Structure 1
Amino acid sequence: MDDSAPHLLHSIFAWLVGASQVLGVASVVLTGVWMGHYRGGFSWDGSEQEFNLHPLCMVLGLVFLQGDAFPLASESLHSAILVYRVFRSEPKKNLKLLHAIIHLLALTLSIIGFVAVFDFHRAAKIPDMYSLHSWCGMATLVLFCLQWVMGLLFFLFPVASSWIRASYLPIHVFCGLVLLIMAIGSCLLGITEKLLFSITSTYALFAPEGVLANILGLLLVCFGMLIGYLTTRKEYRCLPNPEEESLSVHFKTLTEGGSPSSP
């Protein structure tokens, strides 16, 4: 019975990870279908087709990729992310690098999405930054940039002492959670805003475009909930290695005033 428990836990974890990826990919695909089939496709010419890149890049970057790489605290001195949980036996240095690369890709896509919407507004002479969606979206992007830079300075290329990094870790954890919530919330606001602007007369009649967009919103919420569950469960945290255990003992000595040999 005891031997079957880890196997069952691993199986459940694998199924949950697979489900999260299905939800994430489905969200990106539905966004592409919405913008491609109902809104005329994509281009980079200042038209509405350029605007269509905005929701696609936001869902792909700030939600899907960030959801696969945003930081959460583990019981060790290192941050844990979904990639950490999937590849939890790999060296942490490699996982931190993968974490930073995924975040950089998410940041790049997000910036492209923001440039697209501002470019469209300028060409169509539409005011910028007047809606709650735009305010929340901009705040999310700014905090995401700051989070990425701070993560590089504190964890990937640490410039601070271990106790300062440990003190900052809860803040990094909190911001990671808040950013995913803000990104999904901004997407939900944007979905509603786009539908009200585009199909006001038929939205209440369950127009196919409106139904598809509402399903997209539900998928985003489910994705966020599942990612949050996976990355906060203690049983799925990163496996410690000897180097980390030594660092953990040293950190305990510094913070608790004991000695490495003390119980």
Structure 2
Amino acid sequence: MEALHHDHKEGFTLAYGLAQLTGTAAVVMVVVWAGYYKGGFSWRSNPSVEFNWHPVLMLIGMVFLLGNGVMVYRAYPNFRKYHLKVTHAVMQIIAFILSVIGLQAVFDSHNLATPPIPNMYSLHSWIGLTAVILFACQFISGFITFLFPGLKISLRSAYLPIHVYFGNMAFVCSVAAALLGMTEKAFFMQTPKYSDLTSETLLINFIGVAVVVFACLVMFILTESKYKRQPRPEDEILLGGGYE
């Protein structure tokens, strides 16, 4: 497959394949956790079950899709830069939509509970909301900078390192929030308790391990200089964008 052809980039296919495997495994396991152990899925008619949308959608959007979105330039270096920009933007839009629905689910599950549960009291909620806000801000600024026609190349090039840094920061914060959220939810368990080391406990731990491995592989791919997409002559002609 041309898109994944890396003659001079030994190890990329293995790292990228393992990232997809562990990321997909984390998504499948969190769906099983929410669907089987936590009662399935509902909306406002059952606020406690509505909550189950939160871990599923946030993990898919703010971890799996966001991680794949930042890897797209490394994964498909032979694609035209314009197509990569659009693909990157579409993945970010989907991630944002899923995260908004996921946030609505958790706020509903708190506000509609009897009695209501306080919002934004935990470290998980602070870091999680920070990640979403940071992601939204850098997405809007990135969309304007890199997809809006007519912007000077010098401005695009100057902003690119900032965009990359805050995009990576949003991803790292999302991973941290996911791990904190799963641990928090696990400690809320009454019967069985988290310390009982049941099948649910093991599943929660395996989700966390998969998320960490996925995040480590994503950051390895992003920081390994030999995996960086090399600029092409047509890049400046297409959108006048900076180089990844």
TM-score by length of 2: 0.89
Give the direction of change, closer, same or farther, for the CA distance of 1:7–1:217 in structure 2 (3 Å limit).
closer
Query: 1:129 corresponds to which residue?
Result: 120
**Cα offset for 1:201?**
6.0
**Cα offset for 1:202?**
2.2
Gaps of 5+ in 2: none
- Compute the RMSD of aligned alpha carbons: 2.1
**Alpha-carbon distance in structure 1 between the residues aligned to 2:157 and 2:192:** 54
**Cα offset for 1:187?**
0.5
Deviations 1:39-64 (A, max 9, x none): 00011124221100000001000000
Query: 1:68 corresponds to which residue?
Result: 68
Give the direction of change, closer, same or farther, for the CA distance of 1:50–1:159 in structure 2 (3 Å limit).
farther
Query: 1:103 corresponds to which residue?
Result: 92
Identity, in percent, stands at 41
- 1:162 and 2:153 aligned: yes
Letter in 2 for 1:138: L
Query: 2:178 corresponds to which residue?
Result: 187
Is contact 2:58-2:99 (8 Å) kept?
Answer: yes
Query: 1:176 corresponds to which residue?
Result: 167
- 1:224 and 2:223 aligned: no
The total of aligned residue pairs comes to 232
- 1:118 and 2:75 aligned: no
**Alpha-carbon distance in structure 2 between the residues aligned to 1:164 and 1:7:** 30
Gaps of 5+ in 1: 1-5, 71-81, 252-263
Equivalent in 214, 229, 234 of residue 243 of structure 1: 234
- 1:23 and 2:14 aligned: no
TM-score by length of 1: 0.82
Deviations 1:127-165 (A, max 9, x none): 111111111111111111111101101111156422222
In terms of Rg, which structure is larger? 1
**Alpha-carbon distance in structure 1 between the residues aligned to 2:56 and 2:69:** 18
Letter in 1 for 2:78: S
**Cα offset for 1:122?**
1.1
Deviations 1:163-218 (A, max 9, x none): 22222112111111111110000011101110111247621121221111011111
Query: 1:255 corresponds to which residue?
Result: none
**Alpha-carbon distance in structure 1 between the residues aligned to 2:118 and 2:150:** 42
Query: 1:89 corresponds to which residue?
Result: 78
